[in-house]
Amino acid sequence: MHRTRLSLAVASASTLALGLLACSGASDPQMLDDGTGGAGGTDLPTAQVTSGYVASTFGFFYPDGLESQFDGFDLDGRVSSADAPANDECPHDDFVSPDGTPGIDYNFMQIIFDSRMKEDGQFFFGGFREGQLVDGVINGAVKNGSMTVLLDVQGVDDFDNDDEVTVQVFGSEDSPFKGTDDEVLPFATLSVHPDTAYHTEVLTGSIVDGVLTAGPFDLVFPINIQIVRDEFVVREAWLQIELGDETFQGLIAGLWDVTNIRDIIGKPTTDNGNAANFTIEEFEEAMAAHADADFDADSGLCGAFTTMFTFSGVQAFIARGGGVGPGMPGSGGAGGAMPPPIDSPRDQCVGDADRAALDAAGGPGAIGELAADCPGSACGAELTDVLTSGGSDASRIALGDCIAQCIADGSGLSPMCTDCYGSIAACSTAFCLQPCAADPGSQECAQCALDNCPSLDECTGL
């Protein structure tokens, strides 16, 4: 199998690097415990890890204004007019998409674009405008772990058109990994929230012209944003996303209950010096005037807003059903408990362009040999960082990226294909130092890579 050869070759490069570090005095002999018997290790529950995404941005969708046209969802299945509301709805106008499709629902825009001014010259609800208080706090929350959002997409056979894919969204107690530029880094492993209330059901969606659509579903996230500790709930939601190379971007639209909004904004507007620059009474008045969903015949008011959020993110590994966390070296660890088996992305090298590049390079075996050479020939600094950091996520990601680029430079394969080789080689190096440094040809070394890293055959599809 290509994967076994790759794991062993990378382990050999790790052994060479360890020797060089020892000769130069750069390594601490006590850094790598022999892990006999897993002394000091942490036994973590078994988890299934799949490839997915972690959100790096999340916030209100901001069109050009109330009069603009934009794509979205007809959440209630009808075209509404403020001049002629139906008997079971609150008066409001729906929006129109750029292609002329009517019925687009997003009446929370009435709050965002409220044009009234306060005596101090500020907009009544200016905190909801782009770049202001609420916008900044929400966007920061998905990066700092206050509201981590995970997205799992499986079964994609064609990124342009696919009539059946599965989607699931999770909250998480983990914080995304960030670079020095404060941007979320890809390929970290993050656990789903242990409370299944923060997991959506598994959705069946489809991809049409590169856009994945799935729904309806109820979305519940725990939030811990500064002084706000509550749940963020969007009901009867739909998502629409585009999947790119290691990224996604798109929309979530649904119903946001007035009671949930009140719970979330109550403290900033009443208990903390009017931090949002409006009182809860002012906001109650606006909600009564503009809420457009869940009509109550007795009061003549609506109990929810149609709303829309944009979000984007980067690829990540999603751990389900157990934990991944730090620990002392065990029997095969590089400084932590061994990670659970990983189900990597599938069939990343089967496109016509990649097959042609593979043939020109001499086949998958030749690419495996190139991947084995890259740690020593092009990625020495990244390899050293993995060894000296105990296999940290950031160092592993950097090594995987370097190996992937090295392979791309030498083969012309696509980024999605080379990422398979790079991330799996880096995984083998980071998590299998103990058995592979001792004997790269041992069964223990091979089994460690098989048990704890993605399958190269499945990832590439070769």
pLDDT-derived band at 274, boundaries 50, 70, 90: low
Q: What is the pLDDT of residue 128?
A: 84
Q: What is the pLDDT of residue 262?
A: 82
Q: CB of 104 within 8 A of CB of 73?
A: yes
User: Could you give the CA distance from residue 312 to residue 210 in angstroms, rounded to a whole number?
Assistant: 15
pLDDT (mean) for 419-428: 83
Q: List beta partners, residue 166.
A: 154, 204
Closest CA to 299 of 288, 310, 314, 290: 288
Whether the pLDDT of residue 158 is over 70: the answer is yes
Question: 3-state SS string over 369-403?
Answer: HHHHHHHHHCCHHHHHHHHHCCCCHHHHHHHHHHH
**Predicted TM-score (pTM) of this structure:** 0.62
Choose between 413 and 20: higher pLDDT.
Answer: 413
Q: What is the pLDDT of residue 344?
A: 52
Cis previous bond, 375, omega within 30: no
pLDDT (mean) for 304-322: 89
pLDDT (mean) for 209-226: 88
Q: Under DSSP, is residue 242 helix (H, G, I), strand (E, B) or coil?
A: strand
pLDDT (mean) for 165-170: 94
Share of the chain above pLDDT 90, in %: 35
Highest mean pLDDT among 27-31, 347-351, 426-430: 347-351
User: Could you give the CA distance from residue 15 to residue 18 in angstroms, rounded to a whole number?
Assistant: 5
pLDDT-derived band at 270, boundaries 50, 70, 90: low
pLDDT-derived band at 441, boundaries 50, 70, 90: low
User: Could you give the CA distance from residue 427 to residue 240 in angstroms, rounded to a whole number?
Assistant: 32
pLDDT-derived band at 389, boundaries 50, 70, 90: low
Using one digit for the tens of pLDDT, what is the confidence trace for 34-93? 333 333 333 333 445 556 999 999 999 999 988 899 999 999 999 999 999 999 999 999
Q: List beta partners, residue 237.
A: 217
Q: What is the pLDDT of residue 18?
A: 35
Using one digit for the tens of pLDDT, what is the confidence trace for 95-114? 999 999 999 999 999 999 99
Q: For 287-291, which contacts have Cβ atoms below 8 Å and span 24 or more sequence positions? A: 287/111, 287/258, 287/261, 287/262, 289/110, 290/92, 290/107, 290/108, 290/110, 290/111, 291/90, 291/107, 291/258
Whether the pLDDT of residue 325 is over 70: the answer is no
The one-character DSSP state at 25 is T
Give the mean pLDDT of the chain: 78
pLDDT-derived band at 342, boundaries 50, 70, 90: very low
Neighbour tally for 265: CB within 10 Å: 20
Whether the pLDDT of residue 235 is over 90: the answer is yes
User: Could you give the CA distance from residue 349 to residue 339 in angstroms, rounded to a whole number?
Assistant: 25
Share of the chain above pLDDT 70, in %: 77
Choose between 353 and 330: higher pLDDT.
Answer: 353
Choose between 122 and 28: higher pLDDT.
Answer: 122
The one-character DSSP state at 1 is -
Whether the pLDDT of residue 278 is over 80: the answer is no
Which of these ranges, 111-115, 275-279, 423-427, has the smallest mean pLDDT? 275-279
